[in-house]
Amino acid sequence: MFIDHSAIENTLKLAAGTSDAAIDAVLAKAELGSPLDQLDIATLLEIKSDKHMARLMRIAGAIKDRIYGNRIVVFAPLYVSDYCVNNCVYCGYKHSNDFPRRRLSREEIQEEVMLLEKMGHKRLALEVGEDPVNCPIDYVVDAIDAIYSTKNENGTIRRINVNIAATTVEDYKKLKKAGIGTYILFQETYHKPTYERMHPKSVKGNYLYHLTAFDRAMEAGLDDVGAGVLFGLADYKFEVLALMMHNAYLEEKFGVGFHTISVPRIKKAEGMTLDQFSNQIDDLTFKKIVAILRVAVPFTGIIMSTRESAQMRREMIRAGVSQISAGSCTGVGGYKESDRKDTSTKQFEATDQRSPMEVLKELVADGLVPSYCTACYRSGRTGDRFMQLAKAGQIHNVCTPNALMTLQEFILDYGDQALKADSELLIEKELAAIEREDIHKLLTNNLQRIRSGERDLFL
Ligand code: SAM
C-alpha cells in the first residue's frame, strides 16, 4: 500500500520534540522555495511558538502572493441527492439517520441552478451521497447535463467539479465525457484503523478501494483531482504526511499530483455529537496545517469552505487558501428552501452564512480579486499542462486577466453601486500592474467588449 503507515509514524517520531534551530532551518528552506521532504514537513508540524508560527504564516503568504497573486476563486456546492447507503459516523446523511430522503428531478435541479446563477455563480461543486440504486452514475451524468444547459439572462454555469463516492474506471469515463472540471474525493482519514472505525457497515468502508479512486480516475482521463482530509478523525500530523505521500505517489505514477486540497474540519451534524471525536483541532493548529500545505505544495489550490468562519477564511486567504465557497447550502434543494426560509436536513452546519455579494464586497475591499474563471479546463489546461503553466510562473499572465474579466462581468450583471465603484478601481489598478504589453492591450480590449455586452471572454 502506498500510504506506508510505519514510515509516517517513524518520520513523526524522528521529528517529535525537534529543536528550534531545526524548525528555523526548514523555514529557511521553505522561504527559498526549495522542495520539502517528509521529515521537513513533520518538523514544521512541530511548530508551537508564536515566533515560528508568525514566520510560517509570512512565508505561506509570500508563496501565495508569488504564485497566485491576489486572486481568489469563488464557487458554490450543489447537493442533488441525500440517499446514502453508508454509515459514516461523522455525516448527517448516514443511512441510519431517519429522515425523508430526496433526489432532485431535472426540473428541480434547474430551479436550484437558476437561483445559483441569480447569485452570480459560474462554478459549482456537485455533491451526492453514495447510493448505486437511487443515485446511479447515469443520474449524476444527467444532473451535470441539466446544470450545464440551464441558462439565465446572464449565461450558464461554466464549470462543474464533482464530489461523488469512489467508483469504477467506467464511471469516471462517463464523468470525463460529461465535461466535469475537477473530480473531488476526500480520503476522510488516511489512518486505516480509524478509517475502518469511521465507516462501519458501509460500501465506503473499503479503505483500499477508496484510496485508489484517483488511480482509476486518472486512468479514465480525469487528470484534475481534488483531495482532502476531514480533520478531527485521526491525528492531524499523520494526515498531513499521508496527504503529501499520496500526492507524491500520483506525481510519480501519473506526472501530476492533486489539483486541489480541501481542508474540512468536522462540524456538528445530525446523528452525532462532536465529543465523539477526540482528534479535533483548534484554530491555531488548523492555521498551521493550511500554511504548511501551502509551503509544501505551492502549486496546488487550497479550498476552504463555509464550514469555517468569515474571519478564519479572511485570514487564511492571506496565508495560502486560493478557493472559497460562498452562499452555500448543504441540504438537497437548499437554495430554493432558503429562498422560502424552509429548512432541509443538512449534511453538516455551515458557519459563514454570508451571500456571495457580501463575500465579494469583503474580498474587493481587502484588495483581492474574486474570480469566477473557468478558462483552464475549457482550454485544455488540465493536469500536468496546468502544472507546467503554474510552475513557469505563467498564472499571472493568464489567470489574473481572466479573473478581472469575470469580476467585470459580475459587477455589470449583479453588482450594486458600492461594489461597482470599489471593483472598477481595483480593476484599473490591476490592469495598470500588468507588465506585458500584449496582455495589457488584450485585456483592455476585452474589458471594453464586456462593458459593451459581450460575455464569457477568456484567455
Ligand atoms: N458521498 C461522497 C463520498 O462518500 O465521498 C461525497 C461526500 S460528501 C457530499 C462531502 C464531504 O463532506 C465528505 O467527504 C466529508 O469529508 C464531509 N463531511 C461529512 N460530514 C461532515 C461533517 N459532519 N462535518 C464536516 N464535513 C463533513
Residue 339: what pLDDT?
A: 60
Q: Which residues contact 345 (CB under 8 A, 6 or more apart)?
A: 82, 92, 93, 97, 99, 270, 331
Residue to mutate, 80, 167, 186, ligand 1, most ligand atoms under 8 Å from C-beta = 186
395 pLDDT above the threshold of 80: no
Beta bridge partners of 103: 81
Task: Tell me the CA–centroid distance for residue 268 and ligand 1, in Å.
Answer: 12
Element (H, E) at 413: helix 395-413
Residue 433: what pLDDT?
A: 94
292 pLDDT above the threshold of 60: yes
Atom of ligand 1 nearest to the CA of 185: 5
Mean pLDDT of the chain: 95
- Taking alpha carbons only, the member of 388, 354, 359, 389 closest to residue 372 is 359
Which residue type does 115 have? L
How do residues 329-348 score in pLDDT, each as one tens digit?
A: 989 999 987 765 555 677 77
Polymer length of the chain = 459
> Which residue, judged by its Cα, is nearest atom 21 of ligand 1?
91
127 lines ligand 1 (CB under 6 A): yes
Task: Tell me the CA–centroid distance for residue 229 and ligand 1, in Å.
Answer: 10
Distances (CA, A) of 355 to 137, 306, 310: 31, 11, 11
For residues 459 and 398, the answer to whether their CB atoms sit within 8 Å is yes
Task: Report domain extents, the chain.
Answer: 5-65, 70-354, 393-451
Atom of ligand 1 nearest to the CA of 91: 20
pLDDT over 90 for what percent of the chain?
Answer: 89
Residue 344: what pLDDT?
A: 65
- For residues 7-15, average pLDDT: 98
What is the longest distance spanned by two Cα atoms in the chain? Answer: 62
Q: Which three cell numbers stand for residue 107?
A: 426540473
Residue 162: strand, helix, or coil = strand
Find the DSSP H helices in 46-129.
Answer: 50-68, 106-118
Give me the residue label for grid cell 465523539: 276
Task: Tell me the CA–centroid distance for residue 177 and ligand 1, in Å.
Answer: 25
For residues 200 and 160, the answer to whether their CB atoms sit within 8 Å is no
For residues 166 and 217, the answer to whether their CB atoms sit within 8 Å is no
Angle at 361 between CA 125 and CA 309, to 5 degrees: 60
pTM: 0.96
- Taking alpha carbons only, the member of 321, 324, 332 closest to residue 356 is 324
Q: Which three cell numbers stand for residue 210?
A: 477508496
Q: Which three cell numbers stand for residue 264?
A: 474540512
309 vs 291: CA distance, rounded Å: 17
130 vs 143: CA distance, rounded Å: 15
Task: Tell me the CA–centroid distance for residue 91 and ligand 1, in Å.
Answer: 6
Residue 291: what pLDDT?
A: 98
307 lines ligand 1 (CB under 6 A): yes
Provide the 8-state DSSP code for 282. Answer: -
Distances (CA, A) of 143 to 73, 110, 128, 444: 23, 9, 11, 37
Strands 225-228 and 260-262: parallel
How do residues 145-186 score in pLDDT, each as one tens digit?
A: 999 999 988 999 999 999 999 999 999 999 999 999 999 999
> Which residue, judged by its Cα, is nearest atom 19 of ligand 1?
91
How do residues 241-253 score in pLDDT, each as one tens digit?
A: 999 999 999 999 9
Residue 416: what pLDDT?
A: 95
405 pLDDT above the threshold of 70: yes
Residue 393: what pLDDT?
A: 78
257 vs 137: CA distance, rounded Å: 25
More reliable by pLDDT, 152 or 371 = 371
Instruction: Give the fold, CATH level 3, of 70-354.
Output: TIM Barrel (3.20.20)
191 lines ligand 1 (CB under 6 A): no
Residue 342: what pLDDT?
A: 53
